Amino acid sequence: MIDSKVEIISLSGMNGLKIKNITVLFSILLILLINFSVLYSEESKGIISGEIIDADTKQPLSYVTVTVQGTKLGAISDKNGYYVIKKVPVGNYVVNVSRIEYQKSEIPDVNVSVGRNQTVNFELKHKDIIMGSILVTNDYFQKPVDNPTSFKSLEPQEIRRSPGSADDIFRVMQSLPGVSTAGGKSAQLIVRGGSPDENLTLLDNVEIYNPIHFARSGESMGIISVINPSLLKKVDFITGGFPSKYGDKLSSVFDMSLMDGNKEVFNTDVNLNLGGFGLTLDGPVTEKSSVIFSLRRGFFDILTSIMNKPAAPRYYDAVGKYTIHLNDMNKLSIVGFYYIDQIDKEGTINQNPEMNKYPYMTRDDYGSAFGINWQSLFSTNAYALTTFSYSSNGWKTHLGLENNRDLKGDDIQEDEYILKTEVNYKPLSWIEFKTGGYIKFIDSKHVIWSPEDTTRNGKLIPASSVSYHPEISEKYSGFIQTSMNPISVITLNTGLRLDHFTYTGETKLSPRISFKYNIFENTAFNLAYGDFYQTPAAFQIAVDTNNHSLKSAKSTHYVIGFEHNFYEDMKASVEVYHKELNNVITTSDTNNILTNSGNGYTRGIEFYLQKKFTQGFVGSISYSYSTSKRQDGVNLPEYNFEYDRPHILNIIFGIELPDSWQIGAKFQYATGNPYTSYKEAKQGINGIYYIVDGEKNAARYPDYHKLDLRVDKKFQFDSWSINVYLDLWNVYNRINVMSYSFSVDNAGNINTKIREDFGLLPLIGINILF
């Protein structure tokens, strides 16, 4: 694979005059907005609407009472589970729902803006399922019955107020227990010591190959998410022991659900910040259909031009969803996703010797996914979800010199066509069955070329060219899963998954089991066990013919945990986990041949204390201790895996102040990543010096830590509103080392260059709502 990492932007490296000019510009804008706020109309109103369904059967719930806390406003849901409350004064509210046989539920931090609809949906649990397992009045931490361990769920209001995230959903997740930050210049998720490509990413049941801009398969880079967070209804994140409906990944599941477009009015959002410009539309199309759509364009190329950087990265993305209710029992939704990332470079980038060798580069990365979801409520206690989707991912790179700009490069594309279905059946109140499967067709094309080169010690490497375009291969999968609640204090989940990959000829059987025991009314003991397999990716197979015999890697998860609800809005948990790894794909330093000779383990303990947003305050503390080891062969030494970070600490808090002000802060600390340092410099062929590596990953970068602050202010006008935020990254300007690169001169002296993370970085954003 081509190493095409690029130093995208570092405002801490901008000269003082430019920073001052930008600061003055935004200060003037903020003052003008404060003065304009006198135009605010106290009579301005908004709308709250949404759907209420049964959490297990997905049936719409009628006659549910909906109230807006602190007001006399409310509504009753209709036969389709739909409700609408009009003429709601602007402000933040708690919305409550209740129906006699269901658990009461409430959603805080519902923000009503002038002339806009705020969608608030509910999924209610039946009392005979949750009585005795958690408090009847508490659903702030509600989770699916088949995910008792390692499960976190975030709502839109939690995403938008997170400091240090720049409204990026993946950066928000980097503050959860078991997740390691890859630094301010990467939004990738490092989950329990695993690689970023071990995470399954779903968008409305459609698999997303690469959800982050400027990221490529097998890399830990990637600056910003492709998904606009304003479109999200919720995000479910499972960091281990996930149920049998998920497969072909070793570490985690990142499941994003898009909102349906609202049925009342057309909402328009215009967003502008240092990352780019965005437009979001949300509203009805017909009486039974609606749409939500986002389009964004990045500004990184403009900023790098201002800072006189040689690389000009730019991105575009579009995400949308069209929903139509065919009748009371059937709903169809069409989901679309597209992005393109482009980088043009003329000049050198000091931190990357490979890029200095080829000062001219063009790089185009692109991806898309389109899916059709059909949900059918074919019985009062059963429903089916069928999805047909197409996804594509590819990139083209051309590296060279001024007189030949195509010396080295690649042209890669991978397409997948998937048909999958899932049936959920709940014959009795204490038992639920799930079964389903998919068939996936994979078409890949890889063309890679490189010129004649030399190794470190001067040995000649001949020019090479690889063209890989195999016949279309298939993956087949099926699963069955049972969730039982035979007595009120015990929940048992069992599952079995079968996967077959025609290219490798493998058939794998993966058992899964999880258990929950409610020791007390608000205290539970959880455990999970399961086998997980991940097939080799096309980019791994393609680079050498010897790699055509690669097989699936395997991970076995063991998880034990306790959780305790102190209050309805405050919960603590502790989990101990162990992941055993076998048949891990390993690389070579001297060629492109990969093998399944690796093994290893990751084990750790996680503590998490979380308070949901109530009474104007939100906060969380998470601490993880873990170790991640690898061994590239039976007789080879064990070493620290590249994502091994033993200590990780995250502290977050936020408060709401009068007059629509919000303030938040986040502190992050992590042990430095391991790296391979040098041992010495030696003379090779023709007397040229080269660097001899030391022990693999025996050294560590300095510890990583930073403090981020965020201030939000909302201004309301007669028919529109503005949200303004200032997100200050790395307030005390900590110099965090991301990597070292080593070079040797003609005298044998070894030189070290440091690649740093962002220094003090101010991000200012404006969101116009109308």
Residues 455-468 pLDDT 10s: 766 677 888 888 98
Provide the percentage of residues in the chain whose pLDDT is more than 70.
Answer: 89
pLDDT at residue 658 is higher than 80: yes
pLDDT at 145 over 70: yes
CA–CA gap between residue 533 and residue 155 (Å, rounded): 30
What pLDDT does 572 receive? 97
pLDDT tens, position by position, 185-221? 788 899 999 999 999 999 999 999 889 988 876 555 6
Q: Is the pLDDT of residue 151 over 50?
A: yes
pLDDT tens column, 55-82: 999 999 999 999 999 999 999 999 999 9
Q: How confident is the model at residue 158 (pLDDT cuts 50, 70, 90)?
A: confident
Q: What is the pLDDT of residue 700?
A: 97
On the question of pLDDT at 609 being above 70, the answer is: yes
* pLDDT higher than threshold 60 for residue 15: no
pLDDT of the residue at 32: 45
Q: How far is 670 from 559, CA to CA, in rounded Å?
A: 23
Q: Work out whether the CA dihedral 355, 642, 503, 438 comes out positive or negative.
A: negative
pLDDT for 40: 41
349-353, 644-648, 689-693: the lowest-pLDDT one:
349-353
38-42, 390-394, 468-472, 655-659: least confident range: 38-42
517-542 pLDDT, tens digit each: 999 989 999 999 999 999 998 888 98
Structure confidence at residue 128 (pLDDT): 56
DSSP string, 274-304: TTEEEEEEEEEEETTEEEEEEEEEE-HHHHH
Share the mean pLDDT of the chain.
Answer: 88
Which has the minimum average pLDDT: 93-107, 306-320, 413-427, 460-474?
A: 306-320
Q: Which of 358, 476, 356, 497 is nearest to 434 (CA)?
A: 497
Nearest of 406, 294, 413, 409 to residue 365 by alpha carbon: 413
User: Hey, how many other C-beta atoms are within 10 angstroms of the C-beta on 701?
Assistant: 17
Query: Is the pLDDT assigned to residue 440 strictly greater than 50?
Result: yes
Give the pLDDT band (50/70/90) at residue 41: very low
Give yes or no for residue 24 having a pLDDT over 80: no
At residue 348, does pLDDT exceed 70? no
Number of other CB atoms surrounding residue 402 within 10 Å: 8
What pLDDT was estimated at residue 34? 46
pLDDT of residue 573: 97
Lowest mean pLDDT among 460-469, 579-588, 603-612, 674-683: 460-469
pLDDT > 60? residue 7: no
Of 257, 303, 263, nearest to 282 (Cα)?
263
Whether 42 shows a pLDDT value over 50: the answer reads no
Q: How confident is the model at residue 2 (pLDDT cuts 50, 70, 90)?
A: very low
Element (H, E) at 349: none
What pLDDT does 490 receive? 95
Tell me what pLDDT residue 131 has: 38
In angstroms, the CA 295 to CA 256 distance is 18
CA distance 298 to 273: 9
pLDDT the model gives residue 117: 95
- What gap in Å lies between CA 62 and CA 57, rounded to an integer? 14
Strand pairing class (699-700; 674-675)? antiparallel
How far is Cα 718 from Cα 769, in angstroms, rounded to an integer? 12
Q: Provide Rg for the chain, Cα atoms.
A: 26
Better-scored residue on pLDDT, 454 or 559: 559
Least confident of 34-48, 262-276, 315-329, 605-619: 34-48
Beta-bridge partners for 530: 512, 557
Is pLDDT above 70 for 567? yes
The answer, yes or no, to whether residue 37 has pLDDT greater than 80, is no
What pLDDT does residue 590 have?
75
Mean pLDDT of 388-395: 94
